[in-house]
Structure 1
Amino acid sequence: MTDYTEIDLASLMCSRLCHDLLSPVGALSNGLELLSGEEDPDMRARCIELLEQSARISTSKLKFFRLAFGSAGGFDSRIPTEEPQTLIAALVADNGRVELNWSVVSDTLTKPAVKCLLNLAHIAIDALVRGGTLDIGIEESDGITEIAIRASGARIAFDENIGRALQGELDAAEISPRTAPAAMLHGLASQHGGEIQYQVQDDALILGAMVREG
């Protein structure tokens, strides 16, 4: 059930972006306020360290969302694989409790494949609330890109509505900022002759996507 409009989805995606960026940007504002009234050298050094950390996280998220949700302007029809790899590695580093294993042979990927990869990786990282391992593998053959992601950890947190959104089963009243990226992902895969699959286990979330080129 996908009777929501593109405007509805865009609005919800904007809400999700604001939610995800509020914490690091808010930390920047708080850090600057503390720094302005702090005279102790050690405390000022600590404030500057926190500001640098918040700035790095904000920049990483903006770069990630630009490619995951945006039009990927500035790139050709195929994007160097190192671009999404760097962005995912940055999110994993910011998490601090997730180990990334990367198994991708292709030097470039199509824009739709990159968007699917980034969004699925984001869902997988969110599921590892207590940390764990993120395994990513990609294969290309005969114009078809297959993406496989496994998030393994002691506790998997996966909203069943995200799963329903990945399958295109949510209607307009059920879509929220949390599920909007998954709904967009379903539409993207369908538009390019592909599909999204997922499986939830006690200690793992397995996500897969198939996208055709063109």
Structure 2
Amino acid sequence: MPNSEIELAALVGSRICHDLISPIGAVNNGLELLSMAGAGSSSEMTLIGESVDSASARIRFFRVAFGAAENQVLGASETNGILQDYHYNTRWNVVWTPTESQQRTDIRMCFLALLCMETGMPYGGTITVKTSGGKWTLSGQADKLSIDPELWSVLATGQAAIKLRPSQVQFGLLPVIARDAGKQITSQILENEITLSF
């Protein structure tokens, strides 16, 4: 049995993502077959293909962010691929600077932190992820931020003074996972910059 409710929730997340990726892959294979048959040039087929790619990218990202981490590692190229696919044609540009493989638990926290930063940067911007000596720092620059102080205080305390919405679940999950890993989330918010560290 899982040791905590968080681990159980992570297993649920992994199961959902695992079960969804197969039918999405099947749709993509079907599109390729239709394309080979000469039906792949229409705008409708293009729209379906882009939607399938987007769904696949989201599931891969969410599987790392919300799924079970265990004792796995992810290579830099795989991590970059997930981030590039997930942020393709979005308002955010993410620069992943680590060049070596990293513990999946750390990448999981980074992905959750990215979701937090995107919430604070709803109009887009650039987020740079760095690590040194076991410490991770995410720095986001944007022309305009949208910060809810009560929501961001959850990262420091791990206690929600407000009822979190589904779109805000990362704010409740990140400090719990960080605490289990022996880390503390710190944040600094300036006029056009957000920094998260753990």
Q: TM-score range by the shorter chain?
A: 0.7 to 0.9
Higher relative contact order (CA 8 A, sep 6+): 1
**SS of alignment partner, residue 146 of structure 2:** coil
Paired position in structure 2 for 1:186? 175
Do residues 199 (structure 1) and 188 (structure 2) align? yes
Paired with 1:90 and 1:131, the residues of 2 have a C-alpha distance of 16
Whole-angstrom CA distance in 2 between matches of 1:84 and 1:157: 27
What residue in structure 1 maps to residue 80 of structure 2? 85
Amino acid at match of 2:93: E
Q: CA deviation at 1:72?
A: 4.0
C-alpha separation in 2, matches of 1:132 and 1:102:
14
Identity of aligned residues (%): 17
2:50 corresponds to which residue? Answer: 53
CA shift digits 1:88-127 (9 cap, x unpaired): 22222231x333333214x121122111111112222333
Q: Which residue of 1 aligns with 2:118?
A: 125
Residue 146 of structure 1 and its aligned partner are, at CA, apart by: 1.2
Q: State the alpha-carbon separation in 1 of the partners of residues 121 and 82 from structure 2.
A: 17
Q: Does 1:169 align with 2:168?
A: no
Match of 1:21 in 2: none
Q: 1:176 to 1:61 in 2, by over 3 A?
A: same
Give CA deviations for 1:141-200 in whole Å, capped at 9, x if unaligned.
3xxx211111111111233343122121216x7233233222111111111111111122
The answer (yes or no) to whether the contact 1:137–1:149 under 8 Å persists in 2 is yes
Question: Structure 1 residue 10: deviation in Å?
Answer: 4.2
Change (3 A) 1:55 1:161: farther
Unpaired segments of 5 or more residues in structure 1? 18-24, 29-40, 210-214
Kindly indicate whether the alpha-carbon contact (under 8 Å) linking 1:127 and 1:151 is maintained by their aligned counterparts in 2: no
- Name the structure where strand makes up a greater proportion of residues: 1
Q: Which letter maps to 1:103?
A: T
- Give the letter aligned to residue 136 of structure 1: V
Aligned with residue 101 of structure 1, among 95, 118, 121: 95
TM-score by length of 2: 0.72
Q: Tell me, what secondary structure is at the counterpart of 2:178?
A: helix
Instruction: Kindly provide the amino acid, as one letter, of the partner of residue 152 in structure 2.
Output: G
Determine which of 145, 151, 166 is the counterpart of 1:156: 145
Q: Structure 1 residues 184 and 153, CA, compared in 2 at 3 Å: closer, same or farther?
A: same
Shift of residue 130, structure 1, vs aligned partner = 2.2
Contact kept in structure 1, 2:76 and 2:102, CA below 8 Å: yes
Q: Secondary structure at the match of 1:60?
A: helix
Task: State the TM-score, normalizing by the size of structure 1.
Answer: 0.67
**For residues 181 and 131 of structure 1, do their structure 2 counterparts lie closer, same or farther at Cα, with a shift above 3 Å needed?**
closer
Structure 2: stretches of 5+ with no match in the other structure: 17-23, 28-38
Kindly report the root-mean-square deviation, in angstroms, between the aligned alpha carbons of the 2 structures: 3.3
In the aligned structure 1, how far is the partner of 2:131 from the partner of 2:60? 22
Q: 1:10 to 1:174 in 2, by over 3 A?
A: farther
Distance across 2 between alignment mates of 1:91 and 1:159: 25
1:28-67 superposed matches below 5 A: 45-67=42-64
Q: Distance in 1 between matches of 2:146 and 2:173?
A: 21
Structure 2 distance, partners of 1:45, 1:127, is 38
